[in-house]
Amino acid sequence: RVGVSTMSQIIPQVATAIWDCLVDDFMAVPSLGDWQSIAEEFQEHWHFPLCCGALDGKHVQTKAPPNSGSMFHNYKGTFSIVLLAVVDARYRFRVIDVGGYGRTSDGGILANSTFGQALQAGTLHLPPDQPLPGGEHRGAQPHVFVADEAFPLRRELMRPFPGRLLPLEKRIFNYRLSRARMIVEGAFGVLSSQWRMYQHSMELRPEIVEKCVKATCVLHNFLRCLDERGAPAVRSVAPAVVEPLQSLGRVAANNSSREAVLVREKFMAHFSAEGAVTWQPKE
């Protein structure tokens, strides 16, 4: 029995309050120690060393804003904004960027995001390079994020080898990377099942959708901490800064540098030798 005009004010105010109250404790900008802890958990639980997170984008369906043309029209034929997320080994969102236009590719979303710009500028404060476990002879390697083929290959961003008829070493690498990358898909699945607003197109303005998405992501982390520890742990940290994305057009996903190619080859060789596990492909 609440009026529509009243609800239109309550929803964004509540979503903003949830974000402001919880972000410092449950989605703070990861520090050097946080990145190191995430990498250790990826190695322990998912057997991918030096991994600081799984990266992917999710289209959040919304109605097309007036006079927006095709900016929000995505490849699925619907209208959406994009949630770009980095997820840790325990299905928690560590970095999010909300607001990319649905028409923009994942590579373009990354390039235009605060996280993508910090990754390219080297200002994420990732741990220093170190050897892969048991692979000291291969030299120190960078800490990386894992993503699918829609993202560009970079020194700190690993994507799978393209193609189907691949040699065994490349198929092993793709399998190990895919296993680690599925964490972010799982986190999106949990998010969609917990909050029914993701199961249909939202009849809200894009700026309100952004507030709701950010609120559900930080609540997701709150609930994960509650499930793991019995009570959420609160700490004092610097506030996270997540800016809305702006479209700068498509970015080619195959402009990989030679250094990035060499890093991927070192990981590939490691997974087929000293880093091999019993359950990976054998032929």
pLDDT tens-digit readout, 201-259: 998 889 999 999 999 999 999 999 987 766 544 443 333 333 333 332 333 344 458 99
Query: Does the pLDDT of residue 26 top 90, yes or no?
Result: yes
Average pLDDT, stretch 115-126? 92
DSSP the chain: ---HHHHHHHHHHHHHHHHHHHHHHHSPPP-HHHHHHHHHHHHHHH--TTEEEEEEEEEEEBPPPTT-TTTTB-TTSSBEEEEEEEE-TTS-EEEEEEEEETTS-HHHHHHHSHHHHHHHHT-S-PPPPEEETTEEEEEEE--EEE--TTSPPBTTEE-PPP-SS--HHHHHHHHHHHHHHHHHHHHHHHHHHH-GGGGS-B-S-HHHHHHHHHHHHHHHHHHHHHHHHSS------PPP--PPP-------S----HHHHHHHHHHHHHHHTTT--TTS---
- Cα–Cα distance measured from residue 39 to residue 61, given in angstroms and rounded to the nearest whole number: 32
Assign 133 a pLDDT band (cuts: 50, 70, 90): very high
The model's pLDDT over 77-90, given as tens digits with 9 standing for 90+, comes to 899 999 999 999 99
Query: Does the pLDDT of residue 55 top 70, yes or no?
Result: yes
For helices 258-272 and 168-194, the axis angle rounded to 10 degrees is 100
- Cα–Cα distance measured from residue 83 to residue 214, given in angstroms and rounded to the nearest whole number: 9
- Burial grade of 30 (CB within 10 A; 0-12, 13-18, 19 or more): buried
Q: Are strands 93-101 and 80-87 parallel, antiparallel or unpaired?
A: antiparallel
Total-model pTM? 0.87
Average pLDDT, stretch 39-45? 97
- Cα–Cα distance measured from residue 146 to residue 2, given in angstroms and rounded to the nearest whole number: 45
CB-CB contact of 90 with 228 (8 Å): yes
The confidence score (pLDDT) of residue 229 equals 67
The model's pLDDT over 162-173, given as tens digits with 9 standing for 90+, comes to 998 899 999 999
- Cα–Cα distance measured from residue 221 to residue 86, given in angstroms and rounded to the nearest whole number: 12
Higher pLDDT, 232 or 189: 189
- Cα–Cα distance measured from residue 234 to residue 97, given in angstroms and rounded to the nearest whole number: 23
Query: Does the pLDDT of residue 147 top 50, yes or no?
Result: yes
Dihedral class, residue 204 (left if φ above 0, else alpha if ψ from -120 to 50, else beta): beta
Higher pLDDT, 120 or 8: 120
The confidence score (pLDDT) of residue 282 equals 85
The confidence score (pLDDT) of residue 171 equals 96
The confidence score (pLDDT) of residue 65 equals 82
Residues 6 or more apart whose CB falls under 8 angstroms from that of 163 comprise none
Assign 75 a pLDDT band (cuts: 50, 70, 90): confident
The model's pLDDT over 95-113, given as tens digits with 9 standing for 90+, comes to 999 989 999 988 899 999 9
Percent of the chain with pLDDT over 90: 70
The confidence score (pLDDT) of residue 233 equals 45
The confidence score (pLDDT) of residue 226 equals 87
Query: Does the pLDDT of residue 114 top 50, yes or no?
Result: yes
The confidence score (pLDDT) of residue 8 equals 80
The confidence score (pLDDT) of residue 110 equals 94
